[in-house]
Amino acid sequence: MNMLMVNKKGASDEGGMLIWIVVAIIAAVVVILFFTGGFSIFSGLFGQAPQSLEVAAQACKLVATPETRLSFCDQWRKVEITGETQEVNCQYPTIQSQLDLGTAIECRSKDGAVALNYTQKGEEYCVDLFKSAKVTEKTKINDVVCSSLTCAKLNGELIAKGGTCASANVKPRDKGFSEAATNGCCLKV
């Protein structure tokens, strides 16, 4: 009978150890997601609360290498700056000044042809938000108010409000850009 008790106790010790290993792995994944901004995939479900610039800078320190250029340049974090919410990448001047970069990390356009400064990268992201109709009058990216962009800056074709687009692979947008009061903008999607 004692032998049976020992076996049961040994089995429960192994099960307990397995549970602790699983908990440790989950905790490690959560910490990594937190510091790299990986929780942004859930922002649409729960509404992402803005974080401070310090938290965003800490996350950027983890991806501040030329090998992780995509995370550095194209991962956007919702932050609150002087009471105003906007999205920034690691290129944002206040964040970049806190990073100890041996060499500057160059952010490039989506096609890789042109090096972009932080506001140009913000404009590029505004264009993506317009194309997916995820922009509002208050949307601000890297100090760029998306609604201040013209249809031409959005790489679109200006049309009369309520008009139709000439091409089949474009969609009209009538909100959020600077000429929207009287015009529409045909954007490639």
> 103-151, pLDDT tens digit by residue?
778 889 988 899 999 999 999 999 999 888 888 888 999 999 999 999 9
Give per-residue pLDDT as tens, 8-39: 555 556 677 888 898 999 988 887 777 666 65
Tally of structural domains, the chain: 3
- Same-domain pairing of 28 and 54: no
For 130-142, how does the pLDDT look when each residue is reduced to its tens digit (9 = 90+)? 888 888 888 999 9
Are residue 58 and residue 29 in the same domain, yes or no? no
129 shares its domain with 180: no
Same domain, 22 and 65: no
Whether 115 maps to a domain, the answer reads yes
Please spell the DSSP secondary structure of 10-51, one letter per residue: HHHHHHHHHHHHHHHHHHHHHHHHHHHTGGGGGHHHH-PPPB
Among candidate residues 135, 141, 140, the one with its CA nearest the CA of residue 156:
135
Least confident of 42-51, 78-87, 169-178: 42-51
Residues 119, 69 share a domain: yes
Q: How confident is the model at residue 4 (pLDDT cuts 50, 70, 90)?
A: very low
In a domain, 54, yes or no: yes
Q: How far apart are the first and last CA of the chain?
A: 73
Same structural domain, 179 and 131: no
User: Does the residue 188 lie in any domain?
Assistant: yes
Q: Which domain covers residue 21, as residue numbers?
A: 2-36
Q: According to the model, what pLDDT value does residue 9 have?
A: 52
Query: Which pLDDT belongs to residue 47?
Result: 47
Tokens read off for 112? 């890789």
Compute, in degrees rounded to 10, the torsion defined by CA atoms 115, 117, 122, 123.
Answer: -70
